[in-house]
Structure 1
Amino acid sequence: MVAQFVRLKLTLMANTFRRSVWQTIGVVLGSLYAAGVLVVAVGGAIAGGTSDAVVTGQVLIVVGAVLVLGWWLVPVFLYGVDATLDPHRFATYAIPRTRLLAGLAVAGVVSIPGIATLLATVGAAFAWWRTPTAVLAALVGAVLAVALCVVGSRAVTTALSPLLESRRSREVLTIITIVPLMLFGPAFSWFAQRTESAAEAGADAVPQALADISALVSWTPFGAPWGLAAAVHDGAWVAALGRLAVAVATLAVAVWVWDRALTRTLERPVEGGGKGARGKGLGLFDRFPATPVGAVAARAAIYWVRDPRYSTSILLIPLLPVVLFFATRSGGSEVIVILAPLAAWIAGFAISNDIGYDHTAFALHVATGIRGSVDRWGRAVPVLVVGMPLVVAYALVAAALSGRWEWLPPLLGLSVGTLAASTGVSSLVSARWLYPVPRPGESPFKQPQGAAGATMVAQAASTGLVGLVSLPGVALTLLAILLPSPVLGWVALVVAPVVGIVTLVVGVRWGSRIYDLRAPELLQRVLSYA
């Protein structure tokens, strides 16, 4: 039965090369990237073990614990990433649950992340090549670590599946996820600064901190498998047995949780539906003009509020000041000047594939005969209405934090111009270049199979066009700040918005013309991604 599951998974992986060229390119690029990371990681571990096995063991414990924790948590946030062997599909085959668990567990390794993790853990075991007994312990730890990765991941996702069945819960989870992802860079910068300060204070400060952290992590369920080899290398056999017991006990608990959760989901599946919300008027449709453009704008605004694929873009913008605040602490207060233009570009870029995000709902526009100008302006209006006061406020914040109020005119001009230009370019690009995106209800972080190449081309074209049309405003702003020249600053305040508004009008009209000519083809393209 286990072999059958593995053959099934291998067949599904092989079929990915037959679906589309872009999907094949994406798989190949992902495999090459994983191979590169694998070579660097294993080579670094062996080289480190040759020079200093103790420190290398401490690093492996910390990094390995993060790897196991990532396997447990990432699938929760990227719900629906890999459903090729969904247990619900085997419910009617009366497969004994123990065989089903074993087959799913082994098949879980048969994927690019799974194979890379297996090879990395086994390869890292040879960092202890100077101590054969430690190599054997490391190989045992590698098997336990991979088992914990796969079984723990399945246990967590299966146990939380009733929660993830609720779309509102998934939306809240997505919003919670984006915050630590955005703050990871600033946190890493802060940690690097603290490490540098500690190193200046004393040469042994950093190694001692690493030793303390690894000693603590090695007794956790995530780091225990990685601590086996280190304990054997040091001759601490009692500690090795203790860490082995922690790893085995954790694996046993994970199997039990997975078994119970799988039994519940197969025998008592969560039923869809639920209590409907009471109607409270027309919502945003009451707040927009009763015109075709107003109706499209209201629908687009609802997406921005309720669809996590859009709301994640909105959440990026309020977090930008936090990210740039940490950047200014290490790179100077001048970095904050990009706050408003960057927010303007993000806001406009958010609708660069809005037809793709519509999914099957785009059929409503085609069936009702909505003209291209109505569709394009209706989608652009919410961006401009919300984005304009936001980028103006951010320009004021940037001038205040930097203490350079003379920079305010060029920053205002560049920010307003970038918002208009980015919205205009996105109105054109979204009607010309469609690419696969997560479907409604799926994680906004999910990358559809075969979408990597098309996504990169479309996004590169959009970014390049925005940069090209924004070049006059960027040049005037830089000259006004670097010279400095107040006169050029006021010139930028006039020129950049004018160029942006012209780009907006041209982009909307061009996109409208393409929409009118290709609306049925656009719908066919969107439906092909379903």
Structure 2
Amino acid sequence: MAVAMTLVRMKIAILRHSTKGQRGGMMASGGVLGLLLAAGTIYLAFLGGDWLAAAYAVWMLGWIIGPVFSGGGDETLRPEFFAPLGLPAPRLASGLLVSAFVGVAPVISLIALAGLLFAATPGNVLVAVPAMVLQLAVFVLLSKVAVAVLGIALRSRVGAIGAGVINGAVLAFLGQAWVFAVAFGQGGQIPSFVRYLPSGWGLLAVQGDYLALLAMAVLIVLLLAAWAALLTRRTGANRPSTRGRRPMRAATAREAVVAKELRTWSRDLVRTHQLTFALAYGVFFAAAPLALGWTGMLPWAAPIFIVMAAAMTSNSYGTDGTALWLTLMTPGASDVRGRQRAWLVTVGPVAVLLAVAFTLVTDGPWALILASVTALLGGAAGLVPLISVYALVPGTDPQRRGGNPLRTSEDDGALTGLAYLMMALVALSGAPALVAALLYGWWGVVAGAATGALCYWGFGLLAERRLAAQGPELLHMMRTGRRPQRGGMAFKLPDLPKAQRTIVMICWSFGAIPLIPQGIVAAAFLANDRLRMSWFLATYMPPGLRWPTAALMILIGLTMYGVGLWIPYRAKKRPPVYD
């Protein structure tokens, strides 16, 4: 107990000093969004049926999958910090578990679990309190075990690929949950088996099945033992050897950069996991409507894959760490152009194969798919190095990564925001070609090739100039983790009031919803006379309101992104106030 209380005090002290500035604003924004989701979950308790059980299943999957996007989850206190103390693994795991209850995410999850109070049958209200605590412990431990297992999987190529496929599939199915709600329920009924998942045991307990409390207690003991065993492997793990690889050969400096990047793509298991995850997400997200017999979304697997691959690699220079000094000491190496070519060589063939194969199978809209793929490949290849040098997030050198390979930076919130920003910008780079294809058919492919080439060349040129002008500052930031006081990153948020920072984060995080699915994609459906399609609002409107609705959604999305950029811009231009 003494160890646990000490870790709790350490966690509180660290959080108390990290709730200021940009990180504090992001925590506040995430807290507000989490409270809204928790309130919605509690509301489901009054609807009856299995809606609350389904919501808790989503919360459980969020705890398991969320760490993939947040650098391995909350690791304010890392197990490696305490390895020299010689604490027994079960004792360390117990202490870290208790400290894991301190934070924004556990508090919000506990509020969401308050729905058990309202779902409890008469006489079982008091049972809801231990059920809430045990259910939260199950969520936290499942998250910890999932991160530990994934960390071990990322030490082998087969494990990295398998983990990427599983994570991509689960997240894609979560994003297409409406499909399965309709397929299984025929009218919105939730399958009864969700009540018997571990996420539903608390609900069973408050409705009179007291064995569910015992089942949760047993599961917690088993998960704690598994986590302790995994912690032992994590703190004592050795890195795999990469000896026996063929030497790189290149005739020019640019070819050397391409060869180096391709070798990194083949050796770095984190990159392998990221690429596999993006591919699995694109395929499963587009294939999910097959459960309803609809094949119209399958050809869009390629554009989705490109956008997700760009988002996963948006911090390209940051993940390389201080290896940037090699580039700075080799003038004329054209590092940016080499990275662009390597990115295209890695992602491009897979995307083209997906586009051709799925469009051929479904006899889909060739002009739309080919136009979007050509535009998105060029836009992504240009934006990945550009955003990486303008909004670089200091990362951990690959050789210094701890037992959690997913954690490539200390600022997980910035990485998440950077990924969302990249998704929006890459999607926008493909919008002109998509509109041209809708209006002029195959001329859209020409427009896609032109805009893709322009983005590739223009954004790459801007990235090269930025790297040449601010290279030493970028290297200093990656070595120290601190941004320079002058010449800092263009995308760094200024100090804003919490309300304004919350608005900015909401605009950046959710602007893509009205812009892309409800606007651009809905317009594509309307152009092909596809009506009443899933959750695309414009396809359900009367004939005279369909196109205005799609246009309004696009305008709302652009407005959200405009507000998200205008508020920080206005704050930067505001003169300083002196006391």
TM-score range, shorter chain: 0.7 to 0.9
Aligned residues: 476
Residue of 423, 426, 433 corresponding to 2:381:
423
Task: Please give the per-residue CA displacement for 1:35-68, whole angstroms capped at 9, x wherever unaligned.
Answer: 22222223432x34xxx5xx3xx55456546656
Residue of 7, 10, 31 corresponding to 2:9:
7
Alpha-carbon distance in structure 2 between the residues aligned to 1:227 and 1:310: 41
Q: Percent identity?
A: 20
Cα 1:22/1:174, change in 2 over 3 Å: farther
Describe the SS at the equivalent of 1:135.
coil
Gaps (5+ residues) in structure 1? Answer: 201-205, 232-238, 482-488
Alignment of 1:341-380 (within 5 A): 341-345=303-307, 352-366=314-328, 368-371=329-332, 374-380=334-340
The code of the aligned residue for 2:475 comes to L
Q: Answer yes or no: is the 8 Å Cα contact 2:183–2:292 preserved in 1.
A: no
The aligned residue for residue 246 of structure 2 is 281
Alignment of 1:62-461 (within 5 A): 63-64=55-56, 67=59, 80-90=72-82, 103-121=95-113, 123-128=114-119, 131=122, 133-150=123-140, 163=152, 166=155, 171-172=160-161, 174-185=163-174, 188-197=177-186, 199=187, 206=189, 209-210=191-192, 214=195, 217=196, 223-231=200-208, 239-240=209-210, 242-254=211-223, 270=236, 272-273=238-239, 276-282=241-247, 285-286=248-249, 289-315=250-276, 316-317=278-279, 320-327=282-289, 334-336=296-298, 338-345=300-307, 352-366=314-328, 368-371=329-332, 374-403=334-363, 408=366, 411-436=369-394, 440=398, 441=401, 448=409, 450=411, 452=413, 456=417, 460=421
Q: Answer yes or no: is the 8 Å Cα contact 1:340–1:394 preserved in 2.
A: yes
Q: Which one has the largest radius of gyration? A: 1
Alpha-carbon distance in structure 2 between the residues aligned to 1:341 and 1:451: 26
TM-score, L = length of structure 2: 0.68
**Residue 459 of structure 1, CA deviation:** 5.6
Q: Answer yes or no: is the 8 Å Cα contact 1:61–1:227 preserved in 2.
A: no
Residue of 432, 454, 463 corresponding to 1:511:
463
Cα 1:520/1:98, change in 2 over 3 Å: closer
User: Does 2:464 correspond to 1:475?
Assistant: no
Q: Answer yes or no: is the 8 Å Cα contact 1:25–1:453 preserved in 2.
A: no
Gaps (5+ residues) in structure 2? Answer: 483-579
The aligned residue for residue 36 of structure 1 is 36
Describe the SS at the equivalent of 2:251.
coil
Alpha-carbon distance in structure 1 between the residues aligned to 2:444 and 2:144: 55
Q: Answer yes or no: is the 8 Å Cα contact 2:261–2:342 preserved in 1.
A: yes
Alpha-carbon distance in structure 1 between the residues aligned to 2:273 and 2:180: 26
Q: Answer yes or no: is the 8 Å Cα contact 1:409–1:493 preserved in 2.
A: yes
**Residue 194 of structure 1, CA deviation:** 2.0
Q: Which moved more, 1:421-430 or 1:64-73?
A: 64-73
Q: Answer yes or no: is the 8 Å Cα contact 1:348–1:420 preserved in 2.
A: no
Alpha-carbon distance in structure 1 between the residues aligned to 2:85 and 2:301: 57
Alpha-carbon distance in structure 2 between the residues aligned to 1:254 and 1:345: 36
Task: Please give the per-residue CA displacement for 1:178-217, whole angstroms capped at 9, x wherever unaligned.
Answer: 33235414863542232343x59xxxxx47x52x653xx1
Alpha-carbon distance in structure 1 between the residues aligned to 2:15 and 2:382: 40
Q: Answer yes or no: is the 8 Å Cα contact 1:68–1:222 preserved in 2.
A: yes
RMSD: 4.2
Alpha-carbon distance in structure 2 between the residues aligned to 1:386 and 1:162: 24
TM-score, L = length of structure 1: 0.73
Cα 1:301/1:228, change in 2 over 3 Å: same
Alpha-carbon distance in structure 2 between the residues aligned to 1:79 and 1:511: 25
User: Does 2:12 correspond to 1:22?
Assistant: no
**Residue 422 of structure 1, CA deviation:** 3.1
Q: Of Structure 1 and Structure 2, which has the larger fraction of its residues in helix?
A: 1
Cα 1:100/1:172, change in 2 over 3 Å: same
**Residue 9 of structure 1, CA deviation:** 1.5
**Residue 105 of structure 1, CA deviation:** 3.5
The code of the aligned residue for 1:126 comes to L
